[in-house]
Amino acid sequence: MEANPPKRKETRKSLRIKVISMGNAEVGKSCIIKRYCEKRFVPKYLATIGIDYGVTKVQIRDREIKVNIFDMAGHPFFYEVRNEFYKDTQGVILVYDVGQKESFDALDAWLAEMKQELGPHGNMENIVFVVCANKIDCTKHRSVDESEGRLWAESRGFLYFETSAQTGEGINEMFQTFYSAIIDLCDNGGKRPPSSVGVGFTKEQADAIRRIRNSKDSWDMLGVKPGATRDEVNKAYRKLAVLLHPDKCVAPGSEDAFKAVVNARTTLLKNIK
Ligand code: GTP
Ligand code: MG
């Protein structure tokens, strides 16, 4: 009788990944990393000089991953130092301070800087991005609300978390989900799995919500010229109502945008003969 071959214990190879942090100076990048890795918070601001590097091992699902973290300095002065660290990255932690609108508005410039450094052959599609809306403990000074941040992130296929490095809120959940998405990416041959790409709303819906939020008056909100006729107002209203109706649109902020459009129409029709 043939002996059974000895059973070999199935161990999956541990994974090595590189992640970087990006975002304006003082938004809390280093504190977020410190909170997760060292479980502590430093209230004093110690600006990162150029780049900080650290290695950490984490266990996510049944996998051990070795994470090389490159924590970038946000100050423009350090551009020359950080620009060579963008390549060969699997994950990006993109941070803004919810009490500082400029840091939110700067996110596009951070993406542009990375894109430029990766060059024409660089592929931003197959990197996991997580957006951290940080310092949510400072509720008094909040100037970017959740739906605005979430819309920006999710319309680009990025993860979104509300975090506080000070209290620790959202930090573990953010890192777990982020690392988990990177494992899925690596298991899928370095390509973002199709299931993580769809966001459940269209770019047209996201653009309309953003435009409505930033509109200066009711005409602008409906996208009609001042002095437009009742017919023109109604036509523009119907188009937006169909696009943003809460039954049809799951984009963050769609309900508020829909209400704003209804109010804008009512206001304009009151004054048009
Ligand atoms: P650079 O290294 O200059 O790019 O800045 P950074 O983004 O790494 O900021 P850092 O983590 O050093 O934090 C900047 C300041 O914000 C420090 O004084 C922190 O204590 C404070 N801070 C960071 N996160 C939070 C937070 O969640 N809540 C509050 N209240 N303060 C925070
Ligand atoms: Mg720092």
| pLDDT above 60 for 254 | yes
3-class secondary structure per residue, the chain: CCCCCCCCCCCCCCEEEEEEEECCCCCCHHHHHHHHHHCCCCCCCCCCCCEEEEEEEEEECCEEEEEEEEEECCCHHHHHHHHHHCCCCCEEEEEEECCCHHHHHCHHHHHHHHHHHHCCCCCCCCCEEEEEEECCCCHHHCCCCHHHHHHHHHCCCCEEEECCCCCCCCHHHHHHHHHHHHHHHHHCCCCCCHHHCCCCCCHHHHHHHHHHHCCCCHHHHHCCCCCCCHHHHHHHHHHHHHHHCCCCCCCCCHHHHHHHHHHHHHHHHHHCC
Overall average pLDDT of the 206-222 stretch: 92
Confidence (pLDDT) at 6: 55
Confidence (pLDDT) at 141: 87
Confidence (pLDDT) at 167: 97
Which residues are 169's β-sheet partners? none
- Reference 111, options 97, 126, 129, 98; nearest CA is 129
Q: Which ligand is nearest to the CA of 28?
A: 1
Beta carbons of 241 and 261 less than 8 angstroms apart: yes
Pocket lining: 25 vs ligand 1, CB cutoff 6 Å: yes
**Average pLDDT, whole number, for the chain?**
91
pLDDT, tens digit, 9 for 90 and up, residues 11-38: 566 799 999 999 999 999 999 999 999 9
| pLDDT above 50 for 233 | yes
| pLDDT above 50 for 71 | yes
Protein residue with its CA nearest to atom 14 in ligand 1:
26
User: Cα–Cα distance between 153 and 147 in angstroms, integer?
Assistant: 10
Pocket lining: 27 vs ligand 1, CB cutoff 6 Å: yes
**What atom of ligand 1 comes closest to residue 34's alpha carbon?**
11
Pocket lining: 165 vs ligand 1, CB cutoff 6 Å: yes
pLDDT, tens digit, 9 for 90 and up, residues 154-203: 888 899 999 999 999 999 999 999 999 999 999 888 887 765 555 678 88
Confidence of residue 237 (pLDDT cuts 50, 70, 90): very high
- In the reported structure, the alpha carbon of residue 171 is separated from the centroid of ligand 1 by a whole-number distance in angstroms of 14
- Reference 128, options 64, 85, 178; nearest CA is 178
By percentage, how much of the chain surpasses pLDDT 90?
75
Overall average pLDDT of the 103-108 stretch: 97
Better pLDDT: 249 or 18: 18
| Prediction pTM value | 0.82
Confidence of residue 1 (pLDDT cuts 50, 70, 90): very low
Q: Which of 32, 45, 51, 164 to mutate to test the pocket of ligand 1 (most atoms within 8 A of CB)?
A: 45
Pocket lining: 166 vs ligand 1, CB cutoff 6 Å: yes
Confidence (pLDDT) at 250: 86
Axis crossing angle, helix 203-213 with helix 254-271, rounded to the nearest 10: 60
By percentage, how much of the chain surpasses pLDDT 70?
93
Confidence (pLDDT) at 14: 79
Q: Which ligand is nearest to the CA of 29?
A: 1
Overall average pLDDT of the 101-114 stretch: 96
- Reference 65, options 116, 124, 22, 15; nearest CA is 15
Confidence (pLDDT) at 77: 94
ipTM of the modeled complex: 0.99
**What atom of ligand 1 comes closest to residue 138's alpha carbon?**
30
| pLDDT above 90 for 225 | yes
pLDDT, tens digit, 9 for 90 and up, residues 122-135: 888 889 999 999 99
Which residues are 151's β-sheet partners? none
Confidence (pLDDT) at 243: 92
Q: Which of 30-44, 108-122, 139-153, 198-212 has the lowest mean pLDDT?
A: 198-212
| pLDDT above 80 for 100 | yes
Pocket lining: 99 vs ligand 1, CB cutoff 6 Å: no
